Amino acid sequence: MAQQKTILRALAGERLPTPPIWMMRQAGRYLPEYRATRAQAGDFLSLCYNSELAAEVTLQPIRRYGFDASILFADILLLPQALGADLWFVTGEGPRLSTIQSQADFDALIPANGVHDKLAPIYETVRILRRELPSETTLIGFAGAPWTVATYMVAGRGTPDQGPAHQLKDENPALFQQIIDRLVDGTIEYLSQQIQAGAEVIKLFDSWAGSLKGADFDRYALEPTKRIISALKEKHPDTPIIAFPRGAGARYVGFAKATGADCVAVDDSVTAEWVAQNVQPDGCVQGNLASSHMVTGGENLVSETRRIVKALSGGPHIFNLGHGITPDASPENVQLMIDAVRSA
């Protein structure tokens, strides 16, 4: 059955007549059933660590829409919490972390191989999903890429320009490299356990890769991704990996070959036509409808969806958004997008 799953076929390099579909953040606040389950859990972190409820919200968009893949419901900041950082969420504002700004702060973290007790509920969620997902639906596990996770660990929160992380890497590159190295090792541990629990595909989200330029992009986005993929491929050679260096622009070109990724996800700052010419020759691509279409809907959504499908029809393609679906999106527009892809 695994060989019949459309996403696995696309990731293996097969050009399909209709691209498989899933959405980043597809289990989320745009769905009323998600909001009800989150209220049952009490708060966001409690939902992440409640295996039964986390599995439930992962399954909700599959039941509603029949996506070709489901992605584990979790958060990229669970790993730094497992490494010893304090993590909490402020309603209406987002995550907060205790910061790493000195060697003493870093030295208080635990070794990478010590994360599994804290993350055990996440692995249990994966096991539940493998039992309960439809046989044709691929299960995607994920983690944040080291640069993106490090930006939160240094600043203690999300920032518009990742300024605190840039300042630390420039002023104390040795300390910043230690943070990256610990995150590389921790991510390998975390994702390897997700695969052992049943994840069929892994995705690495480098949401803030676009703020890295030149040699910094190579050192802090490309190289950590390459190290993680190399280690995972050694342990789990049959598990495909999707890399998403969001905002990479021209650096999307060659990223798959440089890192060993089976697929490169692209954001909507580049056109599908450009991706077809410059990125897709190296293998599978994922993307890249602007998330705003899930809010505005209408004929623009349909025509843009069909344009992307056509532009990327010459090679392996997984249809997705250029970033995660937003809480103000309409569930009806999601169905409209799916219908447009499958009738294109």
* Catalytic center residues: 25, 29, 38, 75, 152
Residue 231: burial class (beta carbons within 10 Å; 0-12, 13-18, 19+) = middle
The count of other CB atoms within 10 Å of the CB of residue 297 is 16
